[in-house]
Amino acid sequence: MTKLHFQYDKTQFTDEQNEVIARALEVARVAHDGQLRGSGEPYLIHPIAVAKIVAEWGLDFEAVAAALLHDVIEDTPTTVEQIKEQFGGSIAGLVDGVTKLDLSNWPKHPEADSNRREISNENLRKLLLATAKDYRVIMVKLADRLHNLRTLEFLPSDKQLRIGRESLEIFAPIADRLGMGSLKAEMEDLSFRYSQPEEYKKIVRLVKEATQKSAQYVTRLQQDIIRLLREGGVTPMSVEGRQKHYYSIYKKLIKLDGHMEKMYDLTAMRILVPEVADCYHVLGVLHQHYKPLIYRIKDYIAVPKPNGYQSLHTTVFALDGDITEIQIRTPEMHEEAERGLSAHFYYDQHKASAAYAKGHGAAKLPNKLSWVSDLANLQQLAHGQDFLEGARLELFTGRIFVFSPRGDIYELPEGSTPLDFAFAVHSDVGLRAMGARVNGRLENRDVVEILTRREASPSRDWLNFVKTQTAKNRIRSWFRAASREGNIVSGRATLEAELKVLTRGGLADLPVRQVNDALDHLHVRSSDDLLAAIGEGSLGVAQAIRRLVPGAAKPASVPVVKRAASTGRILIEGDQLPYTLAPCCNPVFPQPVVGYVTRGTGVTVHSLSCRNLPSDAERYVDCRWETTPEPMERLACHLEVKAMNRVGLLSDITGVIAKHQFNIGHLASDAGDHGEETLVTFVVEVPDLFVLADLIRQLGTVSGVLAVRRAD
Ligand code: MN
């Protein structure tokens, strides 16, 4: 058998570096000796191809050596320690990073499928963590995956399907986020071809038909553009028709409900000019001759995409009024768009190599790709599923781009809220957020202004709707770090408020012995511990009070009434028929009621004393409150509500009580028509005082209400 060679551009490395690469090749050769690929070729072909891709991307010699060795740990008896001895920690770290977990001890799941998902999740987690430490890991992995996709035809169809899907879901999006446009396109098309063979064929056929018709058109347009630009005084470096890749056509077609004719950018023209100023010049010339679709002019030069992409895009009515997309950019922008992170590596290679040589380990990322290092933050909270959900969300879901009022651009997962934005700006902004000049979910290109207060005052409720892991972490850790003193203060406020309703006294008024008994029962050491627990939410206030004040729910001091209770329903002429409660008087049990038949809407039930009762007596129907067959015990509590006088106040107050179907009586208000403040008093019959405490809280939220207290 002929000996396989690794041909690459040796001039990009020093002699010593090429020496290391040669040693790596020999180690791989020995380790993989006798192994074959699915195609029947020697296995060594694969690591050599991967190393070639890595070298072409312009990565350093360590990455190239690691690419040659990338499968030896997984597929041969060679160990990480051996690689470390022979090649040092840096190369060994890279090889280890791309190596899947040793799953020989992995617990077997009853269902093979979920087992596989779990395994692939764990592998992804390991890969991302390694990438967070050294992003060359992901580059070697992407090269590995690319070559596997290029040779996918030799694998059985179930593997084609799985590898194709995984690449579409995970690796192509990563390539995209690294700005590597051509890698992303190639990976997507290969994955598409093998994971959805039927759709792939359909798209290839559609595109073939569409482009045959348009080939001639593209040539004519090309010549027309070159002529227009010359006349306008610009000499383009190239004007070319460029076809969208299959998978992006497929995705676009789904969005367009299959209407191929609406796809304006199936073939786009791409114009390269030497300088940034030329780009705008070209745009001006084109718009003089071809009318643009105004909402499709995009200036990604002034506002690059977060992955670094720059270009001017415009869609115009070109020759014969045909709608065509045109992209204008400089060669540098083009290089960046196609190669992304690898372009950086290419340019900065010597600098980067010097950094490794000095033993600094991983290279510094270009700033705009700092999201890769955000993975390191995820690592801090990483426990299995949490980490993966976070990582998946941060990396692979749809992204939107929003702006601060100063024009800074932020990238967030779709469905993010203004709070997510606030935390993305700075955790301090998030914690002090009190509102935003945008409501609800953020849309692409929203400009978001966060209103803040002076002190941090986050709410636990935020955890229920923020989308980003960053926001969740910051909120959680704030609460964790919130001082014990703070928890004690807020715990005391909560407990005292509740005690005031129940016992009309405070914590200090309770017998010491009773308090100590309660602490014992609740397994807390001191009353401070008790208050802190209530403050941080680990102990419910009602639970604490049941121990602190046995019998608090039904104290002997409150009169007990026994009477039929309302079921909350109203019977119309003795029957259960549909009705609505009149919003003008909001009748509550046991107020006498009457029904009024409205054409089309049925029966509206008013309080008999309602001033809005219509005079049309013929349309009245007999109504009464339905009651429980057995009388029930209730506590009759006097409440006083102090409020600003306003129209509708009484009905709002009784409305809150009606919602709970509590009886209400002795309703009185001292309000003169001119008084500013009013005192509303009534007796409400409730099952116990815990319920009363809750009711008092709700009454406190009625607009205009200043204070609510028990008056007996
Ligand atoms: Mn491999």
| 136-161: pLDDT as tens digits | 898 999 999 999 999 999 889 888 99
- Taking 50 as the threshold, does the pLDDT of residue 456 lie above it? yes
Catalytic residue list contains 85: no
Separation CA 133–CA 115 (nearest Å): 28
Return the pLDDT at 354.
45
Q: How far is the CA of 143 from the centre of ligand 1 (A)?
A: 9
Expressed in angstroms and rounded, the spacing between residue 286 Cα and the centre of ligand 1 is: 47
pLDDT of residue 573: 82
Is the pLDDT reported for residue 669 higher than 50?
yes
- The most confident of 84-98, 109-123, 505-519, by mean pLDDT: 84-98
In this model, does residue 290 exceed pLDDT 70? yes
For residues 262 and 250, what is the distance between their CA atoms, to the nearest angstrom? 13
Choosing from 56, 75, 496, 640, which is the catalytic residue? Answer: 75
Rounded to the nearest whole angstrom, what is the distance from the C-alpha of residue 370 to the centroid of ligand 1?
27
Average of pLDDT values for 108-133? 62
Does residue 106 surpass a pLDDT of 70?
no
Tell me the mean pLDDT in the region 465-488: 78
Tokens of 698: 């709700």
Q: Is 633 a catalytic residue?
A: no
Interval between CA 144 and ligand 1 midpoint (Å): 5
Q: What is the mean pLDDT of the chain?
A: 81
Split at pLDDT 50, 70, 90, the class of 439 is low
Question: How many angstroms does the Cα of residue 46 sit away from the middle of ligand 1?
Answer: 7
CA of 96 to the centre of ligand 1 (A): 12
- Residue 395, number of CB atoms within 10 A of its CB: 21
Global pTM value: 0.57
Q: Say whether pLDDT at 561 is over 80.
A: no
Return the axis-axis angle of helices 61-69 and 80-87, rounded to nearest 10°. 150
How remote is the CA of residue 244 from the centroid of ligand 1, in Å? Answer: 29
Residue 543 Cα to ligand 1 middle (Å):
59
98 CA → ligand 1 middle, Å: 9
Quick: pLDDT tens for 173-222.
888 888 888 999 999 999 999 999 999 999 999 888 877 767 788 889 99
Mean predicted confidence (pLDDT) in 346-363: 44
70: CA distance to ligand 1 center in Å?
6
Instruction: Please give the distance, rounded to the nearest whole angstrom, from the Cα atom of residue 47 to the centre of ligand 1.
Output: 6
Segment 634-650 mean pLDDT: 86
Rounded-to-10 torsion of CA 280, 285, 291, 293: -10
Predicted pLDDT at 121: 66
- Residues with Cβ within 8 Å of 83's Cβ and at least 6 positions away in sequence, in order, are 27, 69, 72, 73, 91, 92, 95
pLDDT higher than 50, residue 73: yes
Tokens, residue 554: 């039904």
Neighbouring CB atoms inside 10 A of 217's CB total 17
- pLDDT of 610 reads 81
C-alpha gyration radius of the chain? 36
From the CA of 148, how far away is ligand 1's center (Å)?
7
pLDDT over 70 at 348, yes or no? no
Please tell me the predicted confidence (pLDDT) of residue 140.
94
- Rounded to the nearest whole angstrom, what is the distance from the C-alpha of residue 681 to the centroid of ligand 1? 79
Per-residue pLDDT for 118 more than 70? Answer: no
In this model, does residue 447 exceed pLDDT 70?
yes
Answer whether 51's CB lies under 8 Å from 71's CB: no
CB 439 within 8 A of CB 450: no
Weakest-pLDDT range from 81-95, 215-229, 380-394: 380-394
Mean pLDDT, to the nearest integer, of 541-562? 79
Closest CA to 449 of 421, 426, 475: 421
- Cα(74) to centroid(ligand 1), Å: 9
Calculate the alpha carbon distances from 329 to 295, 309, 544 in Å. 19, 10, 68
Whole-number pLDDT of residue 374: 58
- Confidence grade of residue 382 (pLDDT, cut at 50, 70, 90): very low
Ligand 1 centroid to 23 CA: how many Å? 19
- Provide mean pLDDT across the span 106-135: 62
The active-site residue, picked from 19, 26, 41, 74, is 74
Token code pair at residue 221: 């347009």
- Tell me how far the alpha carbon of residue 347 lies from the centroid of ligand 1, in angstroms: 27
pLDDT for 398 equals 66
Q: Are the CB atoms for 303 and 409 separated by under 8 Å? A: yes
Residue 238, pLDDT above cutoff 80 = yes
- What pLDDT does residue 109 have? 44
Separation of CA 304 and ligand 1 centre (Å): 34
What percent of the chain is modeled with pLDDT above 70?
86
Confidence of residue 107 (pLDDT cuts 50, 70, 90): very low
Please tell me which residue, 522 or 444, carries the higher pLDDT value. Answer: 522
- Amino acid making up residue 437: R
pLDDT at 228: 94
Taking the centre of ligand 1 as the mean of its atom positions, its distance from the CA of residue 29, in whole angstroms, is 14
Of residues 292 and 370, the one with the higher pLDDT is 292
* Residue 447 DSSP label: B
Highest-scoring range by mean pLDDT, 40-44, 494-498, 585-589: 40-44
**Confidence at residue 346, expressed as pLDDT on a 0 to 100 scale:** 54
- Among the listed residues 399, 415, 408, 413, the one whose alpha carbon sits nearest the alpha carbon of residue 429: 408
Distance 335 CA to ligand 1 centre (A): 27
Considering Cα of 249, then 250, then 255, then 256, what sign does the dihedral take? positive
Does the structure show a pLDDT above 70 at 633?
A: yes
The two three-digit tokens of residue 453, written as one number = 């207060």
Question: Over 90: is that where the pLDDT of 273 sits?
Answer: yes
SS3 content of the chain, % helix, strand, coil (to 5): 50, 20, 30
pLDDT score for 226:
94
Percent of the chain with pLDDT over 90: 23
pLDDT of residue 1: 53
How far is residue 123's CA from residue 696's CA, in Å, rounded to a whole number? 54
Greater pLDDT, 186 or 696: 186
CA distance 29 to 253: 46
φ/ψ (deg, to 5) at 13 = -125, 165
Task: Give 507-536 pLDDT, tens digit per residue.
Answer: 888 888 888 888 888 888 888 888 988 887
Please check the confidence at residue 363 and state whether its pLDDT lies above 60: no
> β-strands 663-669, 677-686: how paired?
antiparallel
71 C-alpha to ligand 1 centroid (Å): 5
The CA 195 to ligand 1 mean position distance, Å, reads 20
**Rounded to the nearest 10 degrees, how much is the dihedral formed by the CA atoms of 84, 88, 91, 93?**
60
Query: Mean pLDDT over residues 688-706, rounded?
Result: 84
Of the candidates 130, 114, 139, 37, the one whose C-alpha atom is nearest the C-alpha of residue 80 is: 130
The pLDDT of residue 674 is above 70: no
> Over 90: is that where the pLDDT of 342 sits?
no
Q: How far does residue 39's CA lie from ligand 1's centre (Å)?
A: 14
**CA 398, chain centre distance (Å):** 9
**307, 411 Cβ separation under 8 angstroms:** no
Confidence category of residue 353, pLDDT binned at 50, 70, 90: very low
Dist. CA 103–CA 143, nearest whole Å = 23
Q: Report the pLDDT value the prediction gives residue 387, as an integer from 0 to 100.
A: 55
Per-residue pLDDT, averaged over 237-257, amounts to: 87
CA angle (452 as vertex; 449, 456 as ends), nearest 5: 140
Cβ neighbours of 450 (radius 10 Å) = 22
Asked whether the bond before 331 is cis by omega within 30 degrees of 0, the reply is no
Burial class (CB in 10 A: 0-12, 13-18, 19+), 660: middle
